[in-house]
Amino acid sequence: MRKSLITLPALAALLLAACGTTPPTPAAPTQPPAPTEAPAAPTEAPAAPTEAPAGKIGKICQVTDVGGIDDKSFNQTAWAGAQQVAKEFGAEARYLESQQQTDYEKNINEFLASNCDLIVTVGFLLGDATKAAAEANPNQKFQILDFTYDPPIPNVWGQVYATDQGAFLAGYVAAAVSKTGKVGTFGGINIPPVTDFMIGFEQGVKYYNQKNNANVQVLGWDSAKGDGLFTGNFESTDDGRRMGETLMDEGADVIMPVAGPVGLGTAAAILERGGAYLIGVDSDWYESAPEYKSIVLTSVLKRLDVSVVEAARAIADGTFSGGTKVATLANNGVGIAPFHDLDAIVPQKVKDDLPGIIQGIIDGTIKTKP
């Protein structure tokens, strides 16, 4: 596995970010400027190095999932990475949006004819289309986010994320903040990149209960059954609103939707009704969806942008290889965002607990999956 971001400054930045403090070290990611025609980039995009790699990247091409490029979630976060690559290498960054699943193959094929140095496909659901294209075009380099292959495909960088680790931290915080003793979550589709968040969230709540003699309940997910609440899509904000209202009706006062832009419907419902808080996913929703910043407790960060930049740099320096790459707390590939405007409602004890919990997850003494 290619080494990435496993540095003491990066870990220090993560620890500080988890406690709601702005990191003083250069490891903290910064926002790259976005082209006027592109959606606003999330703040987690990596900082440009002082010297660009010696290699050459002329064009980076992204195929989105059906959530769209401006989903304020994983497609948009990946696009921030593509924009960073364009800035760093003086390259061209392009994207094609998939309106439906039948667009995946068509969009990949369009880029195959466009001389892309790297084709980035975003999401678990693009697994089959990416595999077919990569095997038919062995000289084209691909990166797929949220998916990997066994056996590996030599020209495909399969990137997955230990989001259960970041979600564990969010669950711990949610349990501490809840006044009703109930927190909720729901997903778009019952697939691993979604349920990993939900599993980690549930385990974090259970860990809080264990350590603090509490009995906070999780609504919307049951690891023992491997099932919970799902909207069945990643597009309908109306479904997100209904799901959020249902969870609030059942008493949840902290909700983590894991459904891309569907979660914006939940945010709208919480903002209108009041009495609850939202946990974002993938990007820092305080920054990527600022209209809801007054209710965003934190966000579980999945740094797809960093992954895209890493893959491009690997092409430039000649170290690109297929296989599975895993983003974790240890290599700063996942984490949680600061508490921003809601910092005061998070107990100081919980903030003090987080660095030790992070270290426990990294060294394996704290388990984020049952």
How do residues 71-107 score in pLDDT, each as one tens digit? 988 999 999 999 999 999 999 999 999 999 999 999 9
Sign of the dihedral defined by the CA atoms of residues 95, 97, 101, 102, in that order: negative
Residue 108 and residue 81: Cα distance in Å, rounded?
19
Q: Domain extents for the chain?
A: 8-162+303-327, 164-302+336-363
Name the β-bridge partners of 221: 228
How do residues 242-299 score in pLDDT, each as one tens digit? 999 999 999 999 999 999 999 999 999 999 999 999 999 999 999 999 999 999 999 9
Give φ, ψ of 116 to 5 degrees. -80, 135
Cβ density class 20-36: b for 16+ within 10 Å, e for less: beebeeebbbebbeeee
CATH topology of domain 8-162+303-327: Rossmann fold (3.40.50)
Residue 13: the pLDDT is 38
Using alpha carbons only, what angle is made at residue 365 by residues 159 and 283, rounded to the nearest 5 degrees?
Answer: 35
CATH homologous superfamily for the domain 164-302+336-363: Response regulator (3.40.50.2300)
How do residues 184-220 score in pLDDT, each as one tens digit? 999 999 999 999 999 999 999 999 999 999 999 999 9
Confidence bin at 26 (pLDDT 50/70/90): very low
Give Cα 109 distance to the centre of its chain.
Answer: 26
Domains 8-162+303-327 and 164-302+336-363 share a fold: yes
